[in-house]
Amino acid sequence: MSDRCRTCKAEIKWAITDAGRLIPLDIEPQADGNIRLAAALVYGGTPRAIVIPADRRGELAGELYRPHFATCPHAGEHRRGR
């Protein structure tokens, strides 16, 4: 599911964490990403976000994504409690 960041307007995609929360991801996979997407069986087809530890990223094949919070110039505006 693709969307746009409400502050910087970059194209993003959504995934769902193990805690059941939505997380915005940069739309394109990146070499320095740490999130692998897994097929979703629930949550309306939104993929599941699996965090890959740094020491395992090199041994796994496939695309990795960065959380959009890491690249959004307005990330601070999205923090809880503001």
Residue 75 is predicted with a pLDDT of: 82
Residue 82 is predicted with a pLDDT of: 44
* Domain layout of the chain by residue ranges: 2-76
Helix (H, G, I), strand (E, B) or coil at 63: coil
The distance between the two most distant Cα atoms of the chain, rounded to a whole number of Å, is 39
pTM for this predicted structure: 0.81
Q: In angstroms, rounded to a whole number, what is the distance separating the alpha carbons of residues 12 and 23?
A: 10
Q: What is the pLDDT along the chain (82 residues), one digit of tens a residue?
A: 579 999 999 999 999 998 989 999 999 999 889 999 988 666 567 899 998 888 887 766 678 999 999 999 988 776 664 4
Q: Which residue has the tokens 């995934």?
A: 15
